[in-house]
A = this chain, B = another copy of it.
Amino acid sequence: MAPTDNPRRHTREDVARTALRLLDDDGLPDLTMRRLAAALDVQPSALYHHFPNKQTLLAELADRIVSRGADPLPAEWTDAVRAEAAALRDGLLAYRDGAEVVTSTFALGLGAAAPLDRLTRAVAAGGFDDETARRAATALLHFALGHVSHEQQRLQYDSLGVVVDAAATPFEEEDRAAAFAFGVDLLVGGLESRDAVGQRPPVSRSRT
């Protein structure tokens, strides 16, 4: 009979948590406002008391999906970038259709702000100017979202038994992880050679 025991009357947190569970169990196409309401034992219109619309709900899910960065962060900046990229991939893969959820809210400045910040910091530790670091981080983020979206779509088709032109892409987790790492290595390698070509890394430590 504690006040928290009340079975009806949900909070925004409940709604987000249940939505995340539904997403992971059934996938994004089946995450409808009506099904979510049913899972909470509530009328669909009740959801609009917690979120103004579905897009805002998805943005909240995106924030949660990418909330975790690399920990611990390697000392060497190239390893740090690789670790942040891998952590981003892990986060996206941790929920079904995670990459698509994040992509769908990325352009609003929501959802992907946290990983963009982390990647930018990791690159900046290599001594690049802010502009270069931000652009490289954006490239890494675009690659990661493109790659994992592809992975998850493929996983979905495979699970549905849809016949796919299999020659194009690897299907074992090991191969997929290697293909992802290959792309990240190219981007990091490009940064390193850029460094070698022109830029002299200043010791960037201007903040507390």
User: Hey, which chain B residues are within 8 Å of A18, CB to CB?
Assistant: none
Copies of the polypeptide in the assembly: 2
The CA of A194 and the CA of B193, in the complex, are separated in Å by 10
Which residue of the partner chain, among B110, B143, B157, B190, contacts A165 with CB atoms under 8 Å? B110
Closest chain B CB from A155 CB (angstroms): 9
Do B157 and A107 touch (CB < 8 A)?
A: yes
Interface centre among A167, A183, A186, by most chain B C-beta atoms within 10 angstroms, is A186
Do A107 and B150 touch (CB < 8 A)?
A: yes
The CA of A107 and the CA of B187, in the complex, are separated in Å by 23
What range describes how many residues of A lie at the interface? 35 or more
The CA of A144 and the CA of B142, in the complex, are separated in Å by 8
User: Hey, which chain B residues are within 8 Å of A32, CB to CB?
Assistant: none
User: Is A154 among interface residues, defined by CB-CB distance under 8 A?
Assistant: yes
Take A146-B146, A190-B188, A192-B193 as given contacts and tell me if A182 and B108 are in contact as well, using a CB distance cutoff of 8 Å: no
Interface centre among A142, A147, A165, A193, by most chain B C-beta atoms within 10 angstroms, is A142
